[in-house]
Amino acid sequence: MPILKQLLSISLLFTLVHSASYAAMPAFVEGQPLPSLAPILEKTTPAVVNIATKSMAQQHENPLLQDPFFRRFFQLPNSPRKRSTQSLGSGVIVDANKGLIITNHHVIDKADRITVTLRDGRSVNANVVGSDPDSDVAVIQIKAGNLTQLPIADSDQLRVGDFVIAIGNPFGLGQTVTSGIVSALGRSGLGIEGYEDFIQTDASINPGNSGGALINLKGELVGINTAIIAPSGGNVGIGFAIPSNMAVNLKQQLVKFGKVNRGQLGIAVQDLTPELSKAFNLNIKHGVIISQVDNDSPAERARLRPGDIVLSVNGKLTKNSSSLRNSLGLLTVGDTANLEILRNGKQQLVSLKIGKRKIVFVDGARVHPQLTGMKLANLSGNPQQHNVKQGVKVIDIATNSTAWANGFRKGDIITRANRAPVHNIAELINAAKSRTSLLLNVQRDNSAFFLIIR
31 vs 266, residue with greater confidence: 266
Mean pLDDT of 297-315: 89
- Pick the catalytic residue: 106, 135, 183, 322? 106
CATH number attached to the domain at 361-453:
2.30.42.10
Query: Among residues of the chain, what percentage have pLDDT more than 70?
Result: 81
263-356 CATH choice from 2.40.40.20, 3.30.565.10, 2.30.42.10, 3.40.50.300:
2.30.42.10
- Residues 323, 301 contacting (CB under 8 angstroms): no
pLDDT digits (tens, 9 = 90+) for 213-235: 999 999 999 999 998 876 665 66
Mean pLDDT of the chain: 82
- Asked if 178 and 203 touch (Cβ cutoff 8 Å), the reply is yes
Residue boundaries of the structural domains of the chain? 2-35, 36-260, 263-356, 361-453
Binning pLDDT at 50, 70 and 90, where does residue 1 land?
very low
* Those residues with Cβ within 8 angstroms of residue 270's Cβ, 6 or more apart along the chain or in another chain: 276, 288, 289, 291, 321
Closest CA to 49 of 132, 163, 125: 125
Annotation: CATH topology of 36-260: Thrombin, subunit H (2.40.10)
Q: Which of 188, 204, 210, 312 is catalytic?
A: 210
Query: Which of residues 110 and 105 earns the better pLDDT score?
Result: 105
368 is catalytic: no
Confidence of residue 356 (pLDDT cuts 50, 70, 90): confident
Contact 100, 116 (CB under 8 A): no
Kindly report, residue by residue over 124-167, the tens digit of the pLDDT. 999 999 999 888 999 999 999 999 999 999 998 999 999 999 99
Catalytic, 296? Answer no
Which pLDDT score, from 0 to 100, does residue 165 have?
94
Across the range 328-333, mean pLDDT stands at 82
Confidence at residue 242, expressed as pLDDT on a 0 to 100 scale: 92
Same fold, 36-260 and 263-356: no
139 vs 268, more confident = 139
67 is catalytic: no
- Residue 349: beta bridge partners? 340
Query: Sorting pLDDT into bands at 50, 70 and 90, what band is 75?
Result: low
* Gap between the Cα atoms of 320 and 250, Å rounded: 21
At 187, give phi and psi (nearest 5°): -70, 130
Q: What is the pTM of this model?
A: 0.68
Catalytic residue among 87, 105, 135, 136: 136
